[in-house]
Structure 1
Amino acid sequence: MKRFLAALRQVLSWNTHEKIRGSDRKTIQDWERNGKPAPPPHVVKQRNLRTIARQFGLKTLVETGTYYGDMVAALIHDFDKIYSIELGEDLHRQAVARFAGQGSVELIKGDSGRAIKDLLPRINSPSLFWLDGHYSAGVTARGEKDTPVMEELSHIFDSAEIGHVIVVDDARCFGVETGYPSIEELSNYVKTRRPNSHIEVADDAIRIMPRAVR
């Protein structure tokens, strides 16, 4: 009976997974059919991060802005280790409960503009940085700045140059919303700190990648 129940759970889990994948495909197709408006559906962001991680062979993900933990949940099987930084007390507590027992996930409470500096010495292999730790009203927490992206980038660039890939979410906000540098300003800063980087904007995200690896 135990074997039967275990097998049944596996089948049900597989069927649910297939239904979700089918739903994701439809969501992406509808978004593409509508001209890829910004912001893209979350599943598009998940797909893009998976693609980049595979392209560059990245096994560690560093996320700023845990929020409800949906990106961590989506990518938990795609990385050996995931670090996620969240400023909001309630959001951090909910994420800790959600990922209890998941040894590959480490949740960090703090302002990512500072916390990422303390984390970086522990990162000793090329990693994917998903920078999404900005204030956006609602339940999100407000730090010293509405978006700490320049501080985050500064700390990453201060660390050893070992082939990290950086993806900054919400490109549409740059140069438009208060506290956000323009994409040109950000690009010039990156070129100053990492002259060998390739910078591109795609699907409402700014991608900063090692040029040589591409």
Structure 2
Amino acid sequence: MNDPRSILEPIGGYVLDLVAKLRNRQFVPHSLTKLHNMKTCRDMAGATTAVEIGSYKGVTTKRMSRLFKKVISVEIDEALYRQASQRCAGRKNVELLLGDGSKLLPEIATRVNKALIFLDGHFSGGITGQGDEPEPVLKELDLIQANLDRFCAVIVDDFRLFGVEPGWPRKAEVMEKLEDVLPAPEWIHGVLNDQFIAVRKRTAK
């Protein structure tokens, strides 16, 4: 039986985000608010598959499994990978991989089509895992560019931390890279609810 708190807490966070928006207050979005971003991008781009770099404990991974036909998620930290695997047990459309997302991405790209990719594989303190770089998003965007026909939406999480955390690129660098790798007018760019977002127009080939 589900713990009622596990259901009510994310809903409560989402409600708090809505209140903050209505009052024009700055806030760090809760997980369901960010998931709403993902659903919007999915619908705009027609994405059927999701690739997640940075599973953490698998909470977002499990939620994505309800939005997409297939979810491939990568976690570099073995303990977190085990937690994510346990949480997503029974989700037949979820594939969890242990390793460095920036190194596994080229192989993953060969197996997906019409994919939304969620880049959240950065070190942000606590028990989060870390690869060769604290924040490898610029490298990951280069890898996406090399396999651009496989992806139709890109989300980079934790906008507020870029240019703040040690080893993270500046916000302007990430936006410039997004615009270079995912050029307009074929791609639409923006920042919403603490996330960099790029979506391929559905009319584009």
Per the normalisation by structure 1, the TM-score is 0.82
- 1:117 matched to 2:100: no
**Residues of 2 paired with 1:59 and 1:68: CA distance?**
23
Equivalent position of 1:4 in the other structure: none
Q: Separation in 1 of the partners of 2:126 and 2:50?
A: 26
Instruction: Answer 1 or 2: higher relative contact order, Cα 8 Å, separation at least 6.
Output: 2
- Corresponding position of 1:3: none
Which whole-Å CA distance do the structure 2 matches of 1:142 and 1:16 have between them?
A: 30
Question: Gaps spanning 5+ residues in structure 2: where?
Answer: none
Identify the residue that residue 133 of structure 2 maps to in structure 1. 145
Kept in 2, the 8 Å contact 1:36–1:203? The answer is no
Counterpart mapping for 1:74-89 below 5 A = 74-89=63-78
> What is the aligned counterpart of 1:72 among 50, 61, 64?
61
- Residue in 1 aligned with 2:42? 53
Structure 2 residue matching 1:128: 3-state secondary structure: strand
| Conserved? CA contact 1:198–1:211, under 8 Å | yes
Which has more radius of gyration?
1
Pick from 178, 183, 192 the counterpart of residue 202 of structure 1. 192
1: CA distance, partners of 2:133 / 2:157: 16
Cα 1:208/1:105, change in 2 over 3 Å: same
How many angstroms apart in 2 are the aligned matches of 1:25 and 1:67? 20
Deviations 1:140-168 (A, max 9, x none): 11211101111211111101425521010
Equivalent residue of 1:177, what SS? coil
Deviations 1:31-89 (A, max 9, x none): 32453534211110011111111222211111111111111222221110011110010
Q: RMSD of the TM alignment (CA)?
A: 2.7
The whole-number CA distance in structure 1 between the counterparts of 2:111 and 2:37 is 25
Instruction: Give the 3-state SS of the residue equivalent to 1:122 in structure 2.
Output: coil
Partner of 1:161 in structure 2?
149
Structure 1: give runs of 5+ residues left out of the alignment.
1-8
Alignment TM-score, normalising by the size of structure 2: 0.85
- The corresponding residue for 1:177 is 165
Query: Could you tell me which amino acid in structure 1 is paired with residue 88 of structure 2?
Result: F
Q: Is the 8 A contact 1:39 1:204 kept in 2?
A: yes
**Residue 95 (structure 1) aligns with:** 84
Q: Give the partner amino acid of 1:209.
A: V
Which amino acid in structure 2 is aligned with residue 79 of structure 1? F
Could you tell me how far apart the structure 1 residues matched to 2:128 and 2:156 are? 17
Q: Against the structure 1 CA distance between its residues 62 and 142, is the aligned structure 2 distance closer, same or farther, given a 3 Å change threshold? A: same
